[in-house]
Amino acid sequence: MATTSPEALLICEYCDTVHRRRPLVRGDVAQCVRCRAVLERHHGMSTNTLLALVLTAMIAFVQANLWPIVTLGLNGQYSSATLWGTIIAMWHQQAQVVAVIAAATLFFFPLVKMLSFGWLFWFARTGRRAPGFVPIMVTMHYLGPWTMSEVFVLGALVAMVKARVYFDVVPDPGIYAYALLTLMITVFAGVDVRRLWETTAEHPA
């Protein structure tokens, strides 16, 4: 053990078992021998691909926030809602707690996450560490489970089905932008950005 460099070791976060890192090839998933948790997985996407996906997600995010998500119709009256319209409505209806949770998990945290990804990958293309690398990576770790755009998409679907009983429901462009955003989130779910700790260097040669 004394002769092994720290980068060659990997500790299972779920059971504390020490593993020796093995190079992974396409499709490989390293599993913990003791508790079967995923240690790391190989992903074939290059940094450039990831950067392109982040840009796509950003465009989808802007549209998902600007455009209305759904329009309801009742006897010739129409009413539509955007994400921020939803947050503000909750604030005015004595549900400020919910408004804050929604603003954080559906707007601010996803925004911070995407901007950070973009910033980090932009520099990682050339193997460099972006300015502010360490604090950004630490922030990303703590943001972990607090982005919930994909839950919101399912929520929109449920709301539309519920409203369909009494109103005319017209899906708006925002919901499609959200669908695209969810797709990007799913792709990113398999990407462990912590690999940037290893693949980037503070002072590239």
Partner 1 sequence: MSAFLRAVDSGVVGCRVCRLVSRDTLGHDHAAMACPRCGSRLHRRKPNSYSRTWALLIAAFLMYIPANVLPILRTASLNDIDDSTILSGVVELWVKGSPGLAVIVFTASILVPMMKFLVLGMLLLSCHRGSDWARLQRARLFRLVEFIGYWSMLDVFVVALLTALVRFSVLSRVEPLPGVIFFGLTVVLTILASMSFDPRLIWDGRDIDD
Q: 103-122 mask for partner 1 (x: CB under 8 A)?
A: --xx----------------
What's the Rg (C-alpha) of the chain?
21
**How is residue 41 written in tokens?**
């997985």
State which of residues 37, 52, 170, 201 lies at the interface with partner 1 (CB under 8 A).
37
Q: Quick check: 95 and 171 in contact, CB under 8 A?
A: no
State which of residues 50, 60, 72, 124 lies at the interface with partner 1 (CB under 8 A).
72
CB of 45 to partner 1, least distance (A): 20
Could you give the angle at the alpha carbon of 184 between the alpha carbons of 29 and 79, nearest 5°? 145
Please tell me what DSSP assigns to residue 26: T
Please tell me what DSSP assigns to residue 43: -
Instruction: Rule CB under 8 A: say whether 29 interacts with partner 1.
Output: no
State which of residues 52, 62, 97, 170 lies at the interface with partner 1 (CB under 8 A).
97
**What residues between 126 and 165 interact with partner 1 by CB under 8 A?**
134, 137-138, 141, 144-146, 148, 151-152, 154-159, 161-165
Sign of CA dihedral 79, 82, 83, 89: negative
Instruction: Rule CB under 8 A: say whether 95 interacts with partner 1.
Output: yes
Phi, psi of 185 (to 5 degrees): -65, -40
Residue 116: Cβ-neighbour burial (10 angstroms; 0-12, 13-18, 19+): buried
Contact residues toward partner 1 (CB under 8 A) are 1, 6-7, 9-11, 13-18, 33-37, 69-70, 72, 74-75, 77, 79-81, 85-90, 93-95, 97-99, 101-102, 105-106, 134, 137-138, 141, 144-146, 148, 151-152, 154-159, 161-167, 194, 197
